[in-house]
Amino acid sequence: MADGFDVTTRSMLRSNEANWDARTPVHLTSAFYGLDGTRTPFDWFAPFEWEDLGDLAGREVLHLQCHLGTETLAFAYKDAKRTVGLDFSSESLEHARRMASEAGVDVEYVYADVYDATEALDGHRFDVIYTGKGSLCYLPDLARWARIITELLRPGGILYVTEFHPLLNSLGPVSKPGEGEELLLRNDYLPSRGAVEREATYTYTDGPALQGTRVSYEWMHGLGDVVNAVVGAGMTVSGLRESDMLPWRRWKQMVHADNGWWRLPDGAPRIPLLYALRATP
């Protein structure tokens, strides 16, 4: 797995894989993911994502770090010629394959770490490479990630990254007696040095405690780090959006937006919670 890293980093990546295997059974039955039909694959996309991606008919799409494939299914529904999801959690992919089969759509799932994607996909190139929300923080080396993207992207293709804004992780609610909660800066905005170790009994969804590895590691990346990695790999950034909406209710004071997502209430400062980057080789 992910050759080229030191022993400590490889151990962290193995822990992350085991942790996501442990999260999978909880996510499958959670209201958060709504796999009982209460949420559709399209619920996880902002409208502007489809505007930026354009018509997918006849195109080959690769979804990196796809987890359960909830978003991956949407690309198949959008008539992509070929849809491939790649993830390092074998437990996640087992259920992703089952859900694709039950949905009657043709999606290929590949078990591999992102850093091994070129070999795992036999060097095949795609028209669109998509990376969804909450993925980049599990990558210790963005420059290497971006180079792999260039190995897998066809000339004229599109890299599309939709990620949680670094500001989202910097803010945290603080209770004020009689006034509810106030968002304050509680964590670093700029990347810290090295990995952040997290030990959690529960995952980010509703559901029971994890049965398995509870320790995971994250690497914080600023928006500038992502842009510089992409540009440094020889790609051209052709679009960058920031949004004040999220596909789930991060904080209690958030309210429903018109598209079914969540935002801070009227009167609250408008701040970026999500960003989307579009780049071409």
What gap in Å lies between CA 19 and CA 13, rounded to an integer?
A: 10
Q: How far is CA 254 from CA 111, 181, 200, 262, 265, in A?
A: 36, 11, 24, 6, 6
Residue 187 has a pLDDT of 81
Q: What is the pLDDT of residues 66-83, one digit of tens each?
A: 999 999 999 999 999 999
Find out whether 109 and 97 touch, Cβ atoms under 8 Å: yes
For residue 179, pLDDT beyond 80 = no
- The C-alpha torsion from 179 through 181 and 183 to 187, rounded to 10°, is 140
Residue 151 has a pLDDT of 98
- Taking residue 58's Cβ as centre, other Cβ atoms within 10 Å add up to 10
Q: What is the pLDDT of residues 231-251, one digit of tens each?
A: 999 999 999 999 999 998 998
Domains of the chain: 60-190+220-280 (3.40.50.150)
> Can you tell me which residue has the tokens 């980010």?
204
For residue 191, pLDDT beyond 90 = no
171-185, 202-216, 226-240 — most confident range: 226-240
Q: Which residues contact 252 (CB under 8 A, 6 or more apart)?
A: 173, 180, 181
Burial of 92 (C-beta count, 10 Å sphere; 0-12/13-18/19+): buried
Mean pLDDT of 157-184: 87
Share of the chain above pLDDT 90, in %: 83
What gap in Å lies between CA 209 and CA 205, rounded to an integer?
A: 10
Residue 79 has a pLDDT of 97
Task: Note if the pTM is more than 0.75.
Answer: yes
Residue 1 has a pLDDT of 57
- At 185, the pLDDT band (50, 70, 90 cuts) reads confident
For residue 3, pLDDT beyond 80 = no
- At 90, the pLDDT band (50, 70, 90 cuts) reads very high
Residue 16 has a pLDDT of 96
Mean pLDDT of 87-98: 97
